[in-house]
Chains A and B, each alone.
Chain A
């Protein structure tokens, strides 16, 4: 199908800190010009009516290819965690990569070890050839430090970032919450928050030795963030991310045994939550992702400790990110670095910013529209959101993937 050129006028372009009035031209699926002076013949024109025009969200680290939820949330690309399958072979990676095209691009993250068992290296090189953009340790970390060291060195030689889950399995064995008053009152097995910092410290030492680039997918504690901050000051190739849940909720949300608030890592104390907000404001946190992990009643309508962790987050990612803007933690431009620019760099894809030559993965954002999160009416195939009932503002109203209108 031949793509007509696309001209989006009367927009507020999110290509700097503050959205600025402007327009944008797309030719052959790529951004051809910002504020173009000449519009080619036969161009389709969209009047943005003053809405934000921003890069499509690149959601780094989702557990399901859930297209309706991604499209609702303005997500044009999703990096798929290797846990379902697991994605530890080239054929599986290739199939996962084709999963959403053309209107959603799925970038599979290859399993770092065979079967994600944490013992033997997976065929990382072959999976890279099949389309893997990075490797990941999955829902858990690699417990064996020797294996982890070899994984890091090997992936680095192939130019791949290793995406890490950071929790010390000895401390977190059997735990379903973070140590604290809430876990104690509810009688839930809990683990100390330092389980995260201990895991981060080990991997940072390995990064220092191997020089391998890593991304800690979720860093959720003050002590963990302090370690990341120090590592960055040393110049280590380290990125870290977070989901809106750990920025906006603390462990009080598990009161009444709400299994939708059972997450991995578990929700933390209010002090840690504030440390996360400070870290997103000061630039320590690089990526904001949904951690999209839809789970139906068979996994969630259970006693708390028997329910599986995870939340459906794709639909609420943008609106909750805009919360951070309204509360003054980040600028609009920085929000889209967290949501698209930095994930694009990590994955090595030619998108994620409004710049000439980039793929035209675009969203129009009506940043003021109020709506209410409703677990019963989600586009995702399961509505397990810890934000059920929360009033939010802002949603994607139109979106394009490579210049092709999706919504």
Chain B
């Protein structure tokens, strides 16, 4: 199904020109063809991951990848760990809860310590916008941003683009509604950048208290009415609403949010008949999304997104370590 969009590697300029970045900090630094290059590269890993017992490729054998997560995470950490291991790398996880960060060590000092351990790549998540860039500037190895504050979560946007492309056959010229807590969401920012860059019409559907200021400057249209916002959309992308936003500061209550912005079966009828429903997880069932929508095997892509996540992260780890591994043309 992907043959129409998957281009052979020979279509790209030779060597590192296909992806001219040392790190993957954000979608903001990427060009449309670089995004396509990563998506194309991920396809082979989807196939490998589905291939049965021996899901292994040893191209990263001997390399050490440190997953440094300064903010709690289960699924992203696991996804990166599996991605690294499937490529044969030695993967080490560092959780903030177990680290010296709690003892007052500064972020830069922690980064320098990790750097001295000679990692070949670092995957970093941090609760503060810009923190991953700060670390990337100080270390000698490629850094992958696994989410920094409200800023960016590039691999999420890449896996979402891959999911859309595989499900709908293309990821251009579509109408995509991103719904929910856009203000606090790095997933939304990375997706807005990636999806507009690839040539889609992106809508932001959120209560005014959770709509970022001047968001229309990122080439999106804003809606506060959910029914209007998802009308005739090809993709309805829901965002997680964190519990602490529902205590009255941003929203009156969870049930009011569900009534106005929750994705129900009935509400989904406004979108195109073949529209897909996405969610980066973890879901609040019954708040932003109803169970029968989330579990709809035809329309919901939620588990497929998780699957694409591993493939996209394998592609990113492969591409960013090519220089280190001396792959011909990548210097």
Chain A residues close to B by CB (< 8 Å): 179-181, 183-190, 192, 256-257, 298, 301-306
Contacts and interface: CB of A to CB of B under 8 A. Distances in A.
A87 B126 CA distance: 37
Given A185-B28, A187-B186, A179 B129 contact: no
A187 B150 contact: yes
A305 to B, nearest CB: 5
A302 B107 contact: yes
Contacts of A256: 133
A185 B196 CA distance: 14
Interface in B125-160: 126, 128-131, 133-134, 148-152
A86 B213 CA distance: 36
B30 interface: no
Which 4 pairs of residues, A with B, have the shortest CB-CB distance? Answer: A257-B130, A187-B150, A187-B151, A303-B128
A257 B189 contact: no
A190 B106 CA distance: 24
Nearest to B108: A301
A257 B186 contact: no
Nearest to B70: A303
B130 A186 contact: yes
A314 B189 CA distance: 38
A179 B126 CA distance: 23
B197 interface: no
A58 to B, nearest CB: 37
A302 B151 contact: no
A306 B213 contact: no
B212 A306 contact: no
A257 B214 contact: no
28 contacts: A179-B213, A181-B217, A184-B212, A184-B213, A184-B215, A184-B218, A185-B28, A185-B189, A186-B129, A186-B130, A186-B151, A187-B149, A187-B151, A187-B152, A187-B186, A187-B189, A257-B133, A298-B106, A301-B134, A302-B106, A302-B107, A303-B126, A303-B128, A303-B129, A303-B134, A305-B128, A305-B129, A306-B128
By CB atoms of chain A within 10 A, which of B28, B108, B130, B214 has the most?
A: B130
Contacts of B126: 303
A189 B213 CA distance: 10
B128 A301 contact: no
Given A257-B130, A302-B107, A303-B107, A180 B149 contact: no
Contacts of B129: 186-188, 257, 303-305
A190 B213 contact: yes
B115 to A, nearest CB: 15
A179 B128 contact: no
Given A179-B213, A185-B28, A303 B131 contact: yes
Interface residues of B, number: 24
A388 B106 CA distance: 24
Given A181-B217, A188-B151, A305-B129, 16 more contacts: A183-B214, A184-B214, A184-B218, A187-B148, A187-B149, A187-B150, A187-B152, A257-B130, A257-B133, A257-B134, A301-B108, A303-B107, A303-B130, A303-B131, A304-B128, A305-B128
A376 to B, nearest CB: 16
Nearest to B215: A184
Contacts of A180: 213-214
A266 B264 CA distance: 41
A298 B186 CA distance: 27
B127 to A, nearest CB: 9
Contacts of A185: 28, 189, 218
A185 B107 CA distance: 23
B150 A179 contact: no
Nearest to B126: A303
Given A301-B106, A302-B107, A303-B126, A184 B133 contact: no
B108 to A, nearest CB: 6
B91 to A, nearest CB: 25
Contacts of B218: 181, 184-185
Contacts of A181: 214, 217-218
Contacts of B149: 187-188, 303, 305
A328 to B, nearest CB: 31
Nearest to A184: B212
Nearest to B133: A257
A256 B212 CA distance: 19
A184 to B, nearest CB: 4
A305 B130 CA distance: 9
A188 B183 CA distance: 10
Interface string B210-235: 00111101100000000000000000
A303 B134 CA distance: 7
Nearest to B190: A187
A187 B129 CA distance: 6
B181 to A, nearest CB: 13
Which of A192, A298, A306 gathers most chain B CB within 10 Å? A306
A192 B128 CA distance: 21
A183 B151 CA distance: 10
A304 B133 CA distance: 11
A179 B131 CA distance: 20
Nearest to B150: A187
Nearest to B138: A301
B148 to A, nearest CB: 8
Interface string B107-127: 110000000000000000010
Contacts of A188: 129-130, 149-151
B60 to A, nearest CB: 29
Contacts of A189: 150
Interface in B281-306: none
A192 B213 contact: yes
B217 A184 contact: yes
A181 B186 CA distance: 15
A370 B152 CA distance: 40
B42 to A, nearest CB: 25
A190 B212 CA distance: 9
A375 to B, nearest CB: 15
